Amino acid sequence: MAAIRPFRALRPAPDAAPRVAAVPYDVVSTDEARALADGNDLSFLRVTRSEIDLPRQTDPYAPQVYAQALANFERIKREAPLVLEAEPSLYFYRLRMGGHEQIGLAAAYSLDEYDRDLIKKHERTRPDKEDDRTRHISELRAQTGVVFLTYRASPEVDAIARRVMASAPLYDFTAPDGVTHTIWKTGGELSRALIEAFGRIPALYIADGHHRAASAARAREALERREGERGPLRPRDSFLAVAFPDDQVQILPYNRVVKDLAGLAPDAFVARLRERFTVTEGPATPRTKGDVAMYLAGRWYTIGLGRSTDRSLQGDRIGTLDVSLLQQHILDPLLGIKDVRTDKRIDFVGGARGTKELQRLVDAGTSAVAFSLYPVTVDDLMAIADAGGIMPPKSTWFEPKLRDGLLIHVI
């Protein structure tokens, strides 16, 4: 089952919503956040990345950053304004990017189910990132970052969504990146029907936002220690998320760039690859699972990783992922990259930036080689999570992204 609750959203006045709405805090650097918020005092990046309003050398985890976040939050509440709903509600949130459309349910999802792994995970989290968002939630007494969930599609939920979407939306605007965000509110009989329908969904899966969910759980523990033992169900016993059906979710590749070739010349590196794989000139985007595109010295190549798959791995969903094969057969033995989490020679480029960004980084000389991957499937993600597995770091890039600041969960 999946337990959901309506919640009293803190949300911007409709006219202010396009100015308040901001990309998730963790998909931009401080400099990128500063540029995006430039000239817009209502940008929610001033809450989620509040260091942009402090001197450039400020440590993003310094106490004054969280104080600035709270001050900016209170100011935007007044100036946007942000209004707290009178009654708890559920919300359908539609994302449109080009010809792609996905419709999810925004609700308060159970932290008890999260703690018991009934909401399934596929990534490890980093303590420093958890510490940051836990403090952010505790200082603001609000969950401002939205967790992206998925579930096996339910015709029952889809039918309710169509009924709700026949009414006028709260928000309907296109962000500067071309993604259209539309939100509808529902309550009463339809909310009760959604609660019952989700109660029949066997499992929820975190697609994007593992650190946000983990921080919500830790913030609840911190508030319990500060304010006493748990009592009746309260807002802090749940976390803000939007759950999308699996047949609508779009996963793009999470590509890799490496700063050097571990002392090899480009021709020698290609020769080493050809000792192990079929390597041909090819397109920038792999055509099929098992192929990896490589950009090196001004050329795109196709590397046939599929032929190297060990039969012993056939029952191992993680071991047969292209990101795993790339690590096992190229990054580690040929380039000496043992741990992608800690090695400073490797970086990651989300699929939304496209293969032109990979070319740019190599042509500019900041990277020596780039690898463009075939995307992981939602079925892969669910199967690995069902088995209690952990996917390799930076395996999935979900696009389009939800926007922060449109629905806030006050705890």
Domain locations in the chain as residue ranges: 4-250+400-410, 254-374
β-strand pairing of 100-110 with 238-245: antiparallel
Q: Which pLDDT belongs to residue 237? A: 95
Q: Which pLDDT belongs to residue 315? A: 56
Q: Which pLDDT belongs to residue 324? A: 95
Specify the residue for token string 């975190």.
206
CA distance 256 to 243: 28
CA distance 144 to 315: 40
CA distance 166 to 266: 58
**Residue 205 token pair:** 């899966």
Three-state DSSP at 233 gives coil
Pick the closest to residue 404 from 27, 69, 45 (CA basis): 45
Peptide bond connecting 81 to the previous residue in cis, omega within 30 degrees of 0:
yes
Beta-ladder partners of 105:
92, 243
Q: Which pLDDT belongs to residue 308? A: 42
State which residues of the chain have pLDDT below 50. Answer: 307-314
Instruction: Report long-range pairs for 268-271 (Cβ below 8 Å, ≥24 apart).
Output: 269/296, 269/334, 269/369, 270/296, 270/301
E-only strand ranges, 58-216: 82-84, 90-97, 100-110, 119-120, 142-143, 147-151, 171-174, 180-186, 204-208
Cα distances (angstroms) measured from residue 400 to each of 43, 155, 158, 239, 350: 19, 23, 20, 21, 12
Q: Which pLDDT belongs to residue 371? A: 98
The CA radius of gyration of the chain, in Å to the nearest whole number, is: 22
The predicted model scores a pTM of 0.92
Structural fold of domain 254-374: 3.30.1760
Half-sphere CA count of 244, side-chain side, radius 13 A: 24
CA distance 64 to 319: 44
CA distance 237 to 223: 11
CA distance 296 to 299: 5
Q: Which pLDDT belongs to residue 219? A: 96
